[in-house]
Structure 1
Amino acid sequence: MTAAAEGRKRDTLAIGAVRRNFAPWADPAAVPLIRFEKVTKRFGEATAVEDLSLDIYEREFFCLLGPSGCGKTTLMRILAGFEEPTSGRVTLAGRDLIGVPPYRRPANMMFQSYALFPHMSVEKNIAFGLEQEKLPKGEIAARVAEMLRLVQLEPFARRRPDQLSGGQRQRVALARALAKRPKVLLLDEPLDALDKKLREETQFELMDLQVKLGMTFLVVTHDQEEAMTMADRIAVMDRGRIVQVATPGEIYEQPATRYVAEFIGDVNILEGRIGQGEGGRWHIAAPEAPRGLLVDGGGDGVAPGRQVAVALRPEKLRLLQDEPAPGTPNVLAGEVWDIGYLGDWTIYLVKLASGRTIRVSRANATRFVERPITWEDKVFVTFAPEAGVILTR
């Protein structure tokens, strides 16, 4: 292994350790870098952000996730200084930002519309902010070269924006935003125009760069996979409010509401009524399960007689051709309605006796299957009690 390769390996191991151990939100003594306090923003009669409070910590890779029109970009623009809140307070490093113009804030924003200078080359666009700060020429050249490598645009350094594709222009905008190394980097759908493979590569490059530079990243996206890959924590937004703030694993495995469960990843939702509890588990009567359901835990509001939803991720379901033994909990009978082969996974749509269709994912761990499951097969779907999440909201 070369010295350069060994250095990259050490850097990767160090970055992994930093990300694993990073959780300032769990420390009661930690002071947030960014704080939104009861922020509301109205545009005429429309409310874009409503009574929203949120803390973001130094060196955190934070993501605002939600559908179009949920208020995530408005919240970012308030932090950047391009919008003023109708009410509430925003602070950065303890400083009240209300009334502070954008150019006086230690934050830089990458715009979704690129906002590149058409008469400048790629490298000049990237260097522009550094030249405005009058950095030494050698430092500017080194920083520009680093950014060009990051976004894989070294062969295009001398081209103008009109000689680039849309994805390439977006990468120039990303490089320019990163070049100044602000205290907080604001990214509005930063990878939206990139192709799938490059987008995935850039996600990891962004994560590595963020740790190496010790910067705070705030990213707005509607792409769930992008948020789950990059973020230390995610705030899921809906109609101007935050529904849940948690790590990607917590958001996926323990959604706080039905909205979050359905928005993040694929999920099956079964309706039922809570029966009696038993050793930390609840019996739930559901139309799809003649034997009933047995599900772990549940949070506030779980009580006998309560109508609830049970969220089940497709990959946590088992698909069987033989009926499970009597007494096996959580058995749903049905018929294979459709099949989608994705290479690493196969997706089965199973139509239950009630007429409800559920989604089951199976990893293709071997190349050959002795008894392949195919269309119209009678099958049984089962899951462990801990696989379900009881939702009361």
Structure 2
Amino acid sequence: MTKSLGNIRRTFAPWNDPASRPYIAFENVTKRFGDFTAVDDLTLHVYEREFFSLLGASGCGKTTLLRMLAGFEEPTAGDILLEGRSLKGVPPHRRPVNMMFQSYALFPHMTVEQNIAFGLRQEGMARGAVDQRVADMLKLVKLGEFGKRKPHQLSGGQRQRVALARAIAKRPKLLILDEPLGALDKKLREETQFELMDLQQELGLTFMIVTHDQEEAMTMSDRIAVMDSGRILQIGTPAEIYEAPSSRFVADFVGSVNMLEGTVETVSGEMTEISGKDGLAIRVTGESGAGAGDKVWLAIRPEKIRVSRNRPENGANAAEGEVWDVGYLGDMTLFNVRLDTGAIVKASVMNSRREVEDPIGHEDRIWVSFAPDAGILLTR
């Protein structure tokens, strides 16, 4: 049986092929604004037809990185290559790159058709060709009947699609998207994520997107780069970032996580026994590089924690406690359990049935447990 970290969105993975040549290469790129370093000696490779996300909190340098790629900023040091050619000195309008801004930046006095056609007319494309391209773009983003409307007559989702149509009308090789779904409500944002994925694969373009929304990056991306303070902390597929974070920062930033601190007691093969800081005895499997006496953290996601009223038959990684808080989200229920050791453990349980026998409630005494391979051991 083949094992994988999570389900695979598509088999596309040129980064695993040593013969693959990066489509975009940031080589030791640094960007300073006075005394402030926005991007710090960063190296990053992105491949053709990849949907790549830069994920990080506000001010981490992700938008600055994309503005340098688009030509709106110049690196203080290092170089940016597109198809192996340096972009130094190439102005924005000479780069085969288009950027879609968070605000959409639509012209309010122009119709939808005129907004989409603007860049094409600026390039001197023949009128008949412009009309045909605009019609193709409207059909692609499913706005064929809205061509004569102006932006204020559209919903937020429709304006987002007009901005997208305008960005791809010039058929750039690379499309850069800066928080493109930030202005949409949750339900529309979820729908639009899948529309963007389908559109990107249909057009065969390379997408680079900036977002601070972890769920958005996890849904759409082939790979994600987690950034902090101008540096990349980890690059990987959504499953790798979520299931195998390289540090406590990444584990905590992407999704919800329990972080159990302790000291390694013994290591025997792939089995590591840990004395938890809160008195919890922990046994985990997997390579960590930690040795006896080392301080470690076990990162374990709430959905990997089992809850039960009775003590599990296998007593390993089990502790009793009291339900401190209960959150019902419809598809799942969240529990905050205060263990007798004083630690708080978060657990989530899928609500697979409409009716629940003997439901667990606030202040109930329960057991929490997890399998030895349910979490990942971190040393930093």
- How many angstroms does 1:164 deviate by? 3.9
1:294-316 Cα distance to aligned partner (Å, 9 max, x none): 1112334x111111111010001
What corresponds to 2:315 in structure 1? 328
Is 1:202 paired with 2:189?
Answer: no
Is 1:90 paired with 2:77?
Answer: no
Counterpart code for 2:362: W
- How many angstroms does 1:114 deviate by? 2.2
- How many angstroms does 1:382 deviate by? 0.4
What is the rounded CA distance, in whole Å, between the counterparts of 2:351 and 2:366 in structure 1? 18
What is the rounded CA distance, in whole Å, between the counterparts of 2:161 and 2:53 in structure 1? 19
What is the rounded CA distance, in whole Å, between the counterparts of 1:243 and 1:81 in structure 2? 25
Counterpart code for 2:299: A
SS across alignment from 2:10: helix
Is 1:294 paired with 2:283?
Answer: yes
What corresponds to 1:376 in structure 2? 363
* TM-score, structure 1 normalization: 0.90
Percent identity among equivalent residues? 62
SS across alignment from 1:21: coil
Q: Which runs of 5+ in 1 are unaligned?
A: 1-17
CA contact 1:66–1:72 (8 Å) conserved in 2: yes
- How many angstroms does 1:369 deviate by? 2.1
Is 1:263 paired with 2:250?
Answer: no
- How many angstroms does 1:136 deviate by? 5.3
After superposition, the Cα gap between the structure-2 partners of 1:77 and 1:368, relative to the gap in structure 1 and judged at 3 Å, is: same
What corresponds to 1:279 in structure 2? 269
CA contact 2:319–2:339 (8 Å) conserved in 1: yes
Residues matched between the structures, number = 373
1:242-266 Cα distance to aligned partner (Å, 9 max, x none): 0000000000000000000000011
What corresponds to 1:13 in structure 2? none
- How many angstroms does 1:171 deviate by? 3.3
Taking only aligned residues, the RMSD between alpha carbons, in angstroms, comes to 1.8
* TM-score, structure 2 normalization: 0.93
CA contact 2:279–2:341 (8 Å) conserved in 1: no
What corresponds to 2:305 in structure 1? 317
Task: Identify the range of structure 1 (199-208 vs 150-159) with the bigger mean alpha-carbon deviation.
Answer: 150-159
> Which structure's residues are more often helix, by fraction?
1
What is the rounded CA distance, in whole Å, between the counterparts of 1:138 and 1:250 in structure 2? 48
CA contact 2:263–2:277 (8 Å) conserved in 1: no
What is the rounded CA distance, in whole Å, between the counterparts of 1:86 and 1:64 in structure 2? 20
After superposition, the Cα gap between the structure-2 partners of 1:126 and 1:383, relative to the gap in structure 1 and judged at 3 Å, is: same
Counterpart code for 1:299: S
1:25 to 15, 22, 47: 15
- How many angstroms does 1:92 deviate by? 0.3
Q: Which runs of 5+ in 2 are unaligned?
A: 1-7
1:365 to 343, 349, 352: 352
CA contact 2:24–2:82 (8 Å) conserved in 1: yes
- How many angstroms does 1:210 deviate by? 1.1
What is the rounded CA distance, in whole Å, between the counterparts of 1:150 and 1:223 in structure 2? 26
Task: Identify the range of structure 1 (141-150 vs 350-359) with the bigger mean alpha-carbon deviation.
Answer: 141-150
Task: Identify the range of structure 1 (159-168 vs 82-91) with the bigger mean alpha-carbon deviation.
Answer: 159-168
- How many angstroms does 1:127 deviate by? 1.7
What corresponds to 1:108 in structure 2? 98
Counterpart code for 2:115: N
Counterpart code for 1:369: V
